[in-house]
């Protein structure tokens, strides 16, 4: 009996080992969770950060007054933390920036050096009424190039800017499980291939399907007011809208 049990145990271990050899990337991908810092814990930052926590990532939400985030942190549990922006940047393997675009020059002055080399997901949008000259700069140069100017050296990916936070909350909460046709697509754009891979994983973990639109110059294709903005499309539908190869 003992020898039979040992034999079964060895066979089980062998099968598990073979599975890991056959599918190493899949096994690694399924278990990998990272630390994420969130700069701007309002509607977008709070919503997307909460979806990541629910998926098992550790997330530090930030504020200049972290004590104001107490209710959010307590509601999300042990994987959610509160800190200052400096602490969130140091904490995160990746950082989500979700603040009003008019704050980018100040954000750059305070934190651009700390963000160098970091994967930074940029969710900001520029509007004329609120952002004035920054909006004009975005219109002249493109939102990808403008964000890159304020975060030089960051591994920048435009993401989570193309829909209202209420849509993200609704569609991400169940990972699109009840959605006819499949999960909602999130367009992303960036020049750093490895940062794009990280962003794709984080979009997926928030409950959406990532669609890589191109480099930062292509981020204007899903900026506010563009054909790629304000949608709730599936990935095939979004690719068709933007004229991307299936």
Q: Where are the beta strands (DSSP E) in the chain?
A: 35-39, 58-62, 80-83, 94-97, 119-122, 155-158, 185-190, 209-214
213 closest CA partner among 183, 182, 242, 241 = 242
In whole angstroms, what is the distance from residue 221 CA to residue 238 CA?
11
pLDDT tens, 171-205?
Answer: 997 766 666 678 999 999 999 999 999 999 999 99
- Which is more confidently placed, 49 or 11? 49
With contact defined as beta carbons under 8 Å apart, do 76 and 108 qualify?
no
Instruction: Tell me the pTM.
Output: 0.85
Weakest mean pLDDT among 18-22, 39-43, 176-180? 18-22
CATH number of the 34-242 domain: 3.40.50.720
pLDDT tens, 124-143?
Answer: 999 999 999 999 999 999 99
Query: Distances in Å between the alpha carbon of 245 and those of 46, 208, 233, 239?
Result: 33, 19, 16, 7
Most confident range, picked from 91-100, 173-182, 237-246: 91-100
């Amino acid at each position: 009996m003992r020898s039979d049990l040992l034999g079964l145990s060895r066979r089980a271990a062998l099968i598990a080992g073979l599975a890991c050899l056959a599918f190493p990337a899949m096994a690694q991908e399924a278990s990998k969770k990272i630390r994420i810092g969130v700069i701007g814990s309002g509607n977008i930052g709070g919503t997307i950060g909460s979806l990541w926590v629910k998926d098992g990532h550790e997330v530090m939400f930030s504020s200049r007054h972290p004590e104001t985030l107490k209710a959010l942190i307590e509601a999300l549990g042990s994987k959610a933390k509160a800190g200052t922006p400096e602490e969130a940047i140091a904490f995160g393997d990746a950082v989500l920036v979700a603040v009003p675009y008019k704050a980018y020059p100040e954000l750059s002055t305070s934190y651009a050096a700390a963000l160098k080399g970091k994967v930074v997901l940029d969710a900001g949008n520029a509007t004329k009424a609120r952002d004035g000259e920054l909006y004009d700069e975005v219109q002249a140069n493109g939102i990808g190039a403008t964000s890159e100017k304020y975060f030089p050296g960051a591994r920048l990916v435009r993401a989570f800017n193309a829909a209202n936070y209420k849509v993200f909350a609704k569609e991400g909460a169940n990972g699109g499980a009840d959605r006819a046709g499949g999960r909602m697509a999130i367009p992303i754009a960036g020049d750093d291939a490895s940062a794009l891979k990280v962003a794709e994983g984080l979009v997926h973990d928030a409950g959406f399907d990532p669609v890589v639109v191109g480099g930062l110059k292509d981020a204007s294709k899903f900026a506010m007011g563009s054909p790629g903005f304000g949608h709730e499309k599936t990935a095939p539908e979004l690719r068709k809208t933007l004229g991307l190869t299936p």
